[in-house]
A and B are shown apart, each in its own frame.
Chain A
Amino acid sequence: MRPRHLDDDRLYECYAAQRRGEPVDPPAAEHLTDCEPCAAQFAEMARLMDMVRVEGEAEADAVFTPERLREQQQQILRRMDAVARPARVLSFPGRMMQRTIRVSTLRSPRWTAAAAAAGLFLGIALGASYEWESRGRMLPTLVSRNSLGSRGAHLAAVPSRGAGDGAADEAFMLELETALDRPHTRELAAFDAFTPHFREIKDQQR
């Protein structure tokens, strides 16, 4: 009775063994001699695999020509030289090195850390007290500004003006003028000279 046909994997194993020059498994070799369909399958597979191998190698060899391989070898040797003989390390001048070593080997005493902590604490405390003080100074100013703002809003909301309102306006404009006379607005004194003053107009009307 003839044994079953060889499957693809078995055929490939026979092919690989043959190509490596190793002996093919005897039962398989015997079967290939006796069985025509298996022999044909084997021949077809061997032809295809050889084609893959030959084409692949030919393609690679077309790219890696002998010249290119020589060039590659030279490049490898150059890189090897660079690995074997690393770049020379330049030493720093002796005095500078000594100083660097002395500085780096100095041990910081314990009181340095304590002083740093104390300084930090003092800084935070002073900063906090200053903030507290300035906030206290700012408070009345803010209050007066708010009252002025509410007054302005009130004036804008009222369309007709009474006698009391006129007096208030007058007082407000005078306040502005006195504010302009302050030292920090001296730069605007020239412009101020050309501008008619409310006070003067009022005097002329009288």
Chain B
Amino acid sequence: MERGDLDEARDRFAELVAIHQRRASRIAYQYLRDAAEADEAVQDAFVKVFSHIGTYREAWPFEVWFTRILINGCLDRRKARARRDRWFVGGGISSTHEARASVSKRDGDPERQALARERRARVAAAIDRLDGRQRTVFMLCHFGDCTPREVSAMTGLNESTVRVHLFRAARKLRGLLRAKP
């Protein structure tokens, strides 16, 4: 590839990163609940997409292809973390603390901060209690704004199966969040 072509490709890809970055970070963060890991997962996904751009088929929008790569990476990381946790006792600063710190900086009212913290903790705990596939489907639909058809293409699950998982996840979440803490 010529130097000029490479620079142009780089610039165009930088635009693509800017468009999808926020959404990708949200999805990765919801999956991993750890800022550093989510950051790495997003970076890995973009780099992988860049190096395999030749294999992209336009049957699905770029978003779908990219999200599939991203969630596969996130799932691998979750598995690796589960393996690590089996052998080591974790002791790092969790990104929940990081998020709390960011909230404190932005929001001055301590009561509102405490309430927001509590709400977020409840939501996160409820999502974490979902079954693996339910969580994946729910997060892609809810945080990734994907349709069940797109989720079906991303996960390889049947579209009706995706709907079933989505409904079950919504029902379970409602049950968990309506219950008194």
Residues of chain A touching chain B, judged by Cβ–Cβ distance below 8 Å, are: 8-9, 12, 16, 20, 45, 48-49, 51-53, 55-65, 68-69, 72-73, 75-77, 79-81, 83-85
B residues at A contact (CB < 8 Å) = 1, 6, 9-10, 13-14, 17-18, 21-22, 25-26, 29-30, 35, 38-39, 42-43, 46-47, 50-51, 95, 98-99, 102-103, 106, 116, 119-120, 123-124, 126-127, 141-143, 145, 147, 166-167, 170-171, 173-174, 177-178
B167 touches A63 (CB 8 A): no
Residue pair A60, B26 in contact (C-beta under 8 Å):
yes
Cα separation A48 to B103 with both chains bound (whole Å): 21
| Interface-centre pick from A20, A45, A58, A59 (highest chain B CB count, 10 A) | A59
- Name B's interface SS: helix
Apart from the given pairs A12-B166, A60-B25, 5 other A-B contacts in the complex at a CB distance below 8 Å:
A12-B170, A20-B147, A69-B22, A77-B14, A80-B47
Q: Is the CB–CB distance between A63 and B141 below 8 Å?
A: no
Cβ A79 vs Cβ B102 within 8 A: no
Q: Which residues of B lie under 8 Å from residue A55 when comparing CB positions? A: 116, 119-120, 123
Tell me the smallest distance from the CB of A55 to a CB of chain B, in Å: 5
Across-interface contacts of A85 in B (CB, < 8 A)? 6
Instruction: Indicate if the CB atoms of A64 and B127 lie closer than 8 Å.
Output: no
Pick from A20, A62, A68, A75 the residue with the most CB of B within 10 Å: A62
Residues in A with CB closer than 8 Å to B167 are: 8-9, 12
Q: Could you tell me the distance between the alpha carbons of A16 and B30 in the complex, rounded to whole angstroms?
A: 19
CB of A72 within 8 A of CB of B127, answer no
**Is the pair A49, B142 in contact by a Cβ cutoff of 8 Å?**
yes
Complex Cα distance, B10 from A48, in Å, reads 42
